[in-house]
């Protein structure tokens, strides 16, 4: 490795680390003031509260690493541009491509690191932080893989699958008991949709204990309004999330869901996103380099940083939009997860060529 490459690598790593630490601190501070009231209301021990925020750090790192490397590259090459170091390198026979090589290596290494970090560390810590958050007040919700159990006043409700896409529930069994814990009513339904504050169950069977005869009366209904106390947002919080699973765990989960006849489109999109998202580091390195080495950025490093943040923001909006299209089954999961990467990779390549 040449002296120039070592210098560029050291500077990028330095500024990347500084930006990463600053953003983590800001993120945690905002999250702390947002959630501390909830912890104080239920008298959650301080140690458990600290544990919650510590478990959040790996997820934060995974989310902001692409932005941090983008800003690290912009600052490094922006300062080199301001101090005429880029001009000196080019005067010595170097080129934009020559200076981009160490940044490219860092982008590849970070992409690989982010994939394995998101596979091995993030699922464990996210699961733990979510558990602390959902059980801070003794929640009556519990889940195991796709199954959800809800304990209510003299009632127990089991849901075999909650679809985050259309917020529907499938395989519903509700049981209600009297004071002696004797079953007085049971409802089984194939599917349920939330509408106007009520759950509408379809293809339902209701068994109700008659007070006089003490015999269960069975009724089959195409449509039944259920007075469940929970809403889709409650189920969304407790259901197992894609970020709580590794790639192969999520793949096995999808197969189980689809083998039972349920829709797993949302999880299919997230599965592809697990492969697509780490490559954002490489894309941001390309865009950041092309942005910072331009002569127009020579006297305005602050403008370059603002442009970098703006590009990251536009990418995130476009990426979220594409993923939403996938969730809504408008485009296939593969296209939904990879479109933003393809577009910005093309933009970054064109910007680099123009910078050269």
Tens-place pLDDT, residues 221-247? 999 988 787 888 878 877 778 888 899
Sequence-separated (6 or more) residues with CB below 8 Å from residue 275: 115, 247, 337
pLDDT of residue 3: 83
Q: Which has the higher per-residue pLDDT, 326 or 48? A: 326
- Sort 134 into a burial class: Cβ within 10 Å, 0-12 / 13-18 / 19+: middle
pLDDT at 340 over 90: yes
Residue 178: strand, helix, or coil: coil
pLDDT, mean of residues 338-349: 91
pLDDT of residue 297: 62
Distance CA 200, CA 184 (A): 21
Structure token digits, residue 175: 């049981």
Average pLDDT over the chain, rounded to an integer: 86
pLDDT, mean of residues 315-327: 94
Helix or strand holding residue 142 (H, E): strand 141-144
pLDDT of residue 83: 77
Name the residue among 19, 22, 100 with its Cα closest to residue 66: 19
Helix or strand holding residue 204 (H, E): strand 198-209
Distance CA 16, CA 114 (A): 14
Q: Which has the higher per-residue pLDDT, 165 or 140? A: 165
pLDDT, mean of residues 51-76: 92
Structure token digits, residue 191: 């599917």
Tens-place pLDDT, residues 289-310? 888 877 656 667 777 788 888 8
Which range has the worst mean pLDDT, 208-222, 284-298, 309-323? 284-298
Residue 142: which pLDDT band, with cuts at 50, 70 and 90?
low
Under a CB-based contact definition with an 8 Å cutoff, are residues 337 and 276 in contact?
yes
| Half-sphere exposure of residue 233: CA atoms within 13 angstroms, side-chain side | 1
pLDDT at 318 over 90: yes
pLDDT of residue 33: 87
pLDDT of residue 137: 55
pLDDT, mean of residues 71-99: 79
Under a CB-based contact definition with an 8 Å cutoff, are residues 267 and 247 in contact?
no
Distance CA 284, CA 200 (A): 46
Structure token digits, residue 228: 């469940």
Helix or strand holding residue 113 (H, E): helix 96-120
pLDDT, mean of residues 86-94: 72
Q: How far is CA 217 from the centre of its chain?
A: 46
pLDDT of residue 277: 93
Q: How far is CA 105 from CA 281, 286, 308, in A?
A: 11, 11, 20
pLDDT of residue 228: 82
pLDDT, mean of residues 244-255: 90
Residue 138: which pLDDT band, with cuts at 50, 70 and 90?
low
Tens-place pLDDT, residues 13-61? 999 999 999 999 999 999 888 888 877 777 778 888 888 889 999 999 9
Distance CA 213, CA 210 (A): 6
Tens-place pLDDT, residues 159-179? 999 888 888 899 999 988 887
């Amino acid at each position: 490795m040449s002296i120039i490459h070592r210098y560029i690598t050291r500077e990028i790593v330095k500024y990347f680390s500084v930006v990463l630490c600053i953003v983590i601190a800001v993120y945690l501070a905002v999250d702390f003031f947002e959630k501390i009231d909830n912890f104080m209301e239920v008298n959650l021990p301080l140690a458990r509260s600290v544990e919650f925020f510590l478990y959040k750090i790996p997820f934060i790192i995974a989310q902001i690493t692409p932005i941090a490397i983008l800003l690290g590259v912009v600052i490094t090459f922006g300062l080199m541009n301001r101090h005429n170091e880029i001009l000196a390198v080019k005067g010595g026979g170097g080129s934009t491509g020559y200076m981009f090589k160490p940044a490219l290596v860092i982008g590849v290494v970070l992409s690989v690191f982010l994939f394995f970090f998101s596979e091995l560390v993030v699922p464990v810590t996210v699961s733990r932080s979510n558990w602390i958050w959902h059980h801070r007040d003794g929640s009556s919700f519990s889940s195991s893989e796709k199954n959800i159990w809800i304990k209510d006043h003299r009632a127990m409700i089991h849901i075999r699958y909650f679809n985050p896409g259309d917020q529907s529930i499938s395989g519903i069994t509700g049981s209600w008991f009297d004071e002696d814990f004797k079953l007085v009513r049971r409802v089984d339904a194939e599917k349920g949709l939330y509408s106007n504050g009520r759950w509408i169950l379809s293809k339902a069977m209701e068994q109700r204990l008659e007070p006089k005869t003490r015999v269960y009366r069975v009724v089959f209904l195409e449509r039944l309004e259920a007075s469940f106390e929970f809403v889709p947002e409650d189920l969304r919080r407790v259901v197992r999330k894609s970020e709580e699973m590794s790639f192969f765990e999520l793949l096995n989960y999808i197969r189980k869901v689809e083998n039972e006849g349920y829709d797993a489109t949302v999880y299919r999109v997230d599965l592809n996103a697990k492969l697509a998202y780490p490559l954002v580091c490489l894309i941001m390195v390309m865009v950041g380099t092309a942005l910072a080495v331009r002569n127009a950025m020579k006297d305005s490093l602050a403008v370059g940083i603002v442009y970098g943040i703006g590009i990251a923001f536009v990418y995130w909006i476009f990426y979220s939009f594409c993923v939403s299209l996938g969730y809504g089954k408008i485009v296939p999961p593969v296209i939904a997860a990879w479109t933003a990467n393809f577009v910005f990779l093309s933009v970054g390549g064109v910007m680099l060529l123009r910078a050269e």
